[in-house]
Amino acid sequence: MLPVDPDRFLQDLHALRRFGAAGTGKGVSRPGYSEPDIAARDWLAGRMRDAGLAPRFDPVGSLFGLAEGRSLLLGSHSDSQPEGGWLDGALGVIAGLEVARAAREAGGPPISVVSFEDEEGRFGVTTGSSVWAGNQTLEGADALHDPSGLSFAEARARFGDRRGDFVDPAQFSGYIEMHIEQGPLLDATGEALGVVEAIVGIRDMHVTFTGQQNHAGTTPMHLRRDAFQALSAFNAALSERFANVVTPQTVWTIGHVALHPNAPSIVPGRVRFSMQWRDGDADRLDRMEQIIRDTAADIAASHWMDLAYGPMLGLDPVTMDRGLRGALEQAAQAEAPGRWRVMPSGALHDATNVARLMPVAMLFVPSIGGISHDFAEDTAEADLVTGLRALARAAASVAG
């Protein structure tokens, strides 16, 4: 067992929380490549250096704290959603830092840490780890834009001469990511830890309906080509058509809508919206894509809309490595006897990409009320510390 220091871990976790503090100080707004995100990474690089790790930014802004030689990699991400919680990603990075630091102090096995950039998908889907793992090419990522029109190429240039080369994944023996559950299960059962068996797959694309902008007073209803009405009809039709295909675990979300020109007295001429769907079965994800495209085409025809699609992004479901998962199960039983479970992840994580490169596993701690991607996200301090200890125990048993 590595001698982790829970107080030092909690201090660092709260120090990271100050970057982009928002929502009366409880949550954070720290999207990838924002000023608070870059400042947080500079702070984190300093903490890595203090811990005896060599900080290194890669070309997309992911920050590694490297131990010498072949090492186990721990971490997650330190960017957040535009309205995000203080633990989503930050927990795995700071817990990884504490375990790596404790290992160095105790003369233990080499352990490295990473904070991947843009896990929250300002530009793509888990952009930083996707590019590192080859699920997305750098050229392909560079052509992506955030909702304001900023390109990924412009955004990553903000790291300037901090950036070095990509880190060679061959120097890592495996990757363990600790994370908050972001769902209601552990909180409801009163269990302290979740060992992840698999992470769901995701598909994500933008759809645009273009009709005819016009005067909202003079244009008769039957002559309108109203983009909002098209979106509204699309959403209703989609829910009906999905009914025979989805399971209770399947989810889909229209989370970002840009209505043009978005004014009370103008019939909206254009709407661009995000369409995202997730499931543990890649075939079902493909069937859903076909239903989305068929439904959009039917609505475009019935509402006199032109139809266009943005790039299709996605990651298939992945299962966790048996060996690393076993180490987490043993550690969970030691730290929280009878108070842990094996469970799937409905949220996406950098581990999905890293699984292309090396064995990966994940450990969850409870989310109070199951709330995440919201300023109110939180976890009881005792659960944070139990998670840290279980991570340290598992890392000690597989590293070196």
Report the binding-site residues for Zn(2+): 77, 88, 120, 179, 373
CB-wise, 53 or 362, nearer to Mn ion? 362
Q: Return the range that interacts with ligand HGY (CB under 6 A); candidates 116-124, 139-147, 222-230, 250-258.
A: 116-124
Indicate which single residue of 12, 37, 119, 329 sits in contact with ligand HGY (rule: CB under 6 A).
119
Distance CA 198, CA 282 (A): 13
Distance CA 153, CA 164 (A): 15
Identify the residue whose tokens are 């966790």.
Answer: 320
Interactions with Mn ion, residue window 38-97 (CB under 5 A):
88-89
CB-wise, 307 or 347, nearer to ligand HGY? 347
Binding status of residue 1 toward ligand HGY by CB under 6 A: no
How far lies 269's CA from each of 11, 77, 191, 215, in Å?
A: 51, 38, 50, 10
Q: How far is the CB of 264 from ligand HGY (least distance, A)?
A: 33
Q: And the tokens for 63?
A: 């920050």
The two beta strands, 193-199 and 313-315, are unpaired
Q: Which does 79 bind (CB under 5 to 8 A by kind): Mn ion, ligand HGY, none?
A: none
Binding status of residue 120 toward ligand HGY by CB under 6 A: yes
CB-wise, 52 or 344, nearer to Mn ion? 344
Q: How far is the CB of 161 from Mn ion (least distance, A)?
A: 28
Q: And the tokens for 79?
A: 């960017």
Here's the x/- map for ligand HGY, 339-378, by CB under 6 A: it reads as --------xx------------------------------
Q: Which does 348 bind (CB under 5 to 8 A by kind): ligand HGY, Mn ion, none?
A: ligand HGY
Binding status of residue 180 toward ligand HGY by CB under 6 A: no
Element (H, E) at 333: helix 322-335
Q: And the tokens for 333?
A: 């039983």
Q: How far is the CB of 38 from Mn ion (least distance, A)?
A: 19
Q: Which does 191 bind (CB under 5 to 8 A by kind): ligand HGY, Mn ion, none?
A: none
CB-wise, 120 or 329, nearer to ligand HGY? 120
Q: How far is the CB of 186 from ligand HGY (least distance, A)?
A: 17
Distance CA 387, CA 335 (A): 8
Distance CA 346, CA 280 (A): 8
DSSP 106: T
How far lies 49's CA from each of 63, 66, 79, 112, 352, in Å?
A: 12, 9, 20, 12, 28
Q: Which does 58 bind (CB under 5 to 8 A by kind): ligand HGY, Mn ion, none?
A: none
DSSP 191: -
CB-wise, 58 or 350, nearer to ligand HGY? 350
CB-wise, 105 or 316, nearer to ligand HGY? 316
Distance CA 100, CA 51 (A): 8
Check whether the bond before 366 is cis (ω within 30° of 0). no
Q: How far is the CB of 120 from Mn ion (least distance, A)?
A: 5
The two beta strands, 193-199 and 340-345, are parallel
Total residues in contact with Mn ion, by rule CB under 5 A = 2
Query: Residues of 55-81 as b/e, b for ≥16 C-beta within 10 angstroms?
Result: bbbbbbbbbbbbbeeebbbbbbbbbbb
Indicate which single residue of 32, 121, 211, 359 sits in contact with ligand HGY (rule: CB under 6 A).
121
Distance CA 273, CA 56 (A): 36
Q: How far is the CB of 298 from Mn ion (least distance, A)?
A: 33
Here's the x/- map for ligand HGY, 160-179, by CB under 6 A: it reads as --------------------
Q: Which of 295, 283, 158 is nearest to 240 (CA)?
A: 295
Q: And the tokens for 42?
A: 């500079």
CB-wise, 186 or 296, nearer to Mn ion? 186
Q: Which residues contact 48 (CB under 8 A, 6 or more apart)?
A: 54, 55, 63, 65, 97, 113
Total residues in contact with ligand HGY, by rule CB under 6 A = 5
CB-wise, 89 or 211, nearer to Mn ion? 89
List interacting residues with ligand HGY (CB under 6 A).
Answer: 119-121, 347-348
List interacting residues with Mn ion (CB under 5 A).
Answer: 88-89
